[in-house]
Amino acid sequence: MTKIVDMTSVAEGDTSSLDTAGMVSSEKPFDIESIGNPEDPSKFEITDTKTNKVYTVSAKALTGGDYHQVIQASDNTIPEEDIKRYYDTAMKMDWLGEQIHLGDDVIEHDWVKEIWEQVNPGIKLLRHYLNGHHKGQSDGIHIDGRTGNQYTVIVYLTPDWQPEDGGSIEFWTPNLNDEMKAIAINTPYGLNGNPNMNIVKSYWPKAGRVIVFDARIPHVARSVETDKFRVSLVFKGEGTVG
């Protein structure tokens, strides 16, 4: 739930409401002003005091404190024989491109429902799909969402995947552009924060590996290096991850 911040009090010098909302108060590295009704600020203006450039972001984008390392990875959640069965089922579907949209908040496939019941970190499902990549295919670094209560869950399905097959997922510091920095003011990488761009964590797509991460974290799936076909089941949801 988004914490409602009394921006009037903040303007008068009481920053306790920022602290309880997970927002950092410090020696004026940035200025924050409410937009609209001060009783219910749904958006903030964030001013970079070095450039005087103003960014308008949703209040929800600033919730959750330092999110840049909210990344969980686990193995052996799903039995190996089940992973093989799920992979075979996925490969029988119509792959006309790199993605198969399976649905939104309602799961219609029994095998997908089985997986979701095992990997759901306690969030409400918004949509889900399959991703598939051949050798040499990769996407750019991107984020999946701009609010503090959205998460992505990835389940890798290709059996017998090895590190030398490539296809790893990388998670980066949230300072790759100005928009990311404006959202990341509660992390060490916000406006006027640490300018050094780096990889926070990286995982290779081991069969059955489950990864959960905050949707605001920049990430990229690197190219597959062999003739194997990397298949992953992706869930997008919102709520609170324990």
The full DSSP string for 136-171 is T-----B-S-SSTTEEEEEEE--TT--GGGB--EEE
Considering the domain architecture, whether residues 138 and 176 belong to the same structural domain is answered as yes
Considering the domain architecture, whether residues 28 and 134 belong to the same structural domain is answered as no
CB contact set of 171 (below 8 Å; sequence gap of 6+): 71, 199, 200, 201, 202, 213, 217, 218, 219
Cα angle, residue 49 at apex, residues 41 and 184 outer, rounded to 5°: 55
Considering the domain architecture, whether residues 94 and 124 belong to the same structural domain is answered as yes
- What amino acid occupies position 158? T
**Residue 1 forms part of a structural domain:** no
Considering the domain architecture, whether residues 163 and 210 belong to the same structural domain is answered as yes
Per-residue pLDDT at 27: 43
Per-residue pLDDT at 164: 96
> Any idea how long the chain is?
242
CATH, residue 164 = 2.60.120.620
The rounded radius of gyration (Å) of the Cα atoms in the chain is 20
Ordered per-residue pLDDT tens for the chain, 242 residues: 333 333 333 333 344 443 444 444 444 455 666 666 666 678 888 888 778 888 888 888 888 889 999 999 999 899 989 999 999 999 999 988 888 999 999 999 999 999 999 999 999 999 999 999 998 887 789 999 998 899 999 999 999 999 999 999 999 999 999 989 999 989 999 888 899 999 999 999 999 999 999 999 999 999 999 999 999 999 999 998 86
Considering the domain architecture, whether residues 17 and 129 belong to the same structural domain is answered as no
Q: How many CA atoms lie within 13 A of 70 on its CB side?
A: 24
Considering the domain architecture, whether residues 132 and 43 belong to the same structural domain is answered as no
**Residue 2 forms part of a structural domain:** no
**Residue 226 forms part of a structural domain:** yes
Per-residue pLDDT at 229: 94
Considering the domain architecture, whether residues 21 and 77 belong to the same structural domain is answered as no
Domain boundary among 62, 83, 101: 62
Per-residue pLDDT at 2: 32
pTM of the model: 0.83
Would you give the DSSP letter of residue 24? -
Work out how many domains the chain is built from and give that number: 2
Would you give the DSSP letter of residue 63? T
Considering the domain architecture, whether residues 111 and 191 belong to the same structural domain is answered as yes
Q: By CB neighbour count within 10 A (0-12 exposed, 13-18 middle, 19+ buried), where does 117 fall?
A: exposed
State the residue range of the domain holding 187: 71-239
Considering the domain architecture, whether residues 101 and 197 belong to the same structural domain is answered as yes
Considering the domain architecture, whether residues 97 and 215 belong to the same structural domain is answered as yes
Considering the domain architecture, whether residues 142 and 46 belong to the same structural domain is answered as no
Considering the domain architecture, whether residues 113 and 213 belong to the same structural domain is answered as yes
